[in-house]
Amino acid sequence: MPEPIKVATVGEIEDESAIVVDGTTSGTGEDIAVFFSDDTYYAIDDTCTHQDASLAEGWVEGDEVECPVHAARFSLCTGAALCLPATVAVKTHKVELRGDEVWLHPGVPADKG
């Protein structure tokens, strides 16, 4: 399992936006998008499961993101695909706040440990 990594400090990720941690840095081989919305941090795999699009470039509303290419929506909490054309969930990753530091646990599902 890759080590946790510090990806930002509080305030660096603007509301309803995301940063991308590339697959080499994350250690998972997959780019991971870290979102901030409604005072909460979320992390999911950045690549849409429909085709090759960056979800970090999508539109965020509450705990959902809409793919910028064909408008499938995903839950930032569970990774579930909420509407067509995507039918496969993206993976979630745990995000932890340590003081004002935002730490990503690549490969650890958001609802675990």
- Binding positions for ligand FES, rule: CB under 6 A: 48, 50-51, 53, 67, 69-70, 72, 85-86
Most distant CA pair in the chain, distance: 39
SS3 9: strand
Token pair recorded at residue 77: 């909490």
Q: Which is nearer to ligand FES, 69 or 80 (CB)?
A: 69
Q: Least distance (Å) from ligand FES to the CB of residue 67? A: 3
Decide if 32 contacts 56 (C-beta within 8 A).
no
Token pair recorded at residue 76: 């930032």
Distance between CA atoms of residues 20 and 3, nearest Å: 17
Q: Which is nearer to ligand FES, 85 or 107 (CB)?
A: 85
Q: Least distance (Å) from ligand FES to the CB of residue 95? A: 22
Q: Least distance (Å) from ligand FES to the CB of residue 32? A: 16
Q: Least distance (Å) from ligand FES to the CB of residue 51? A: 4
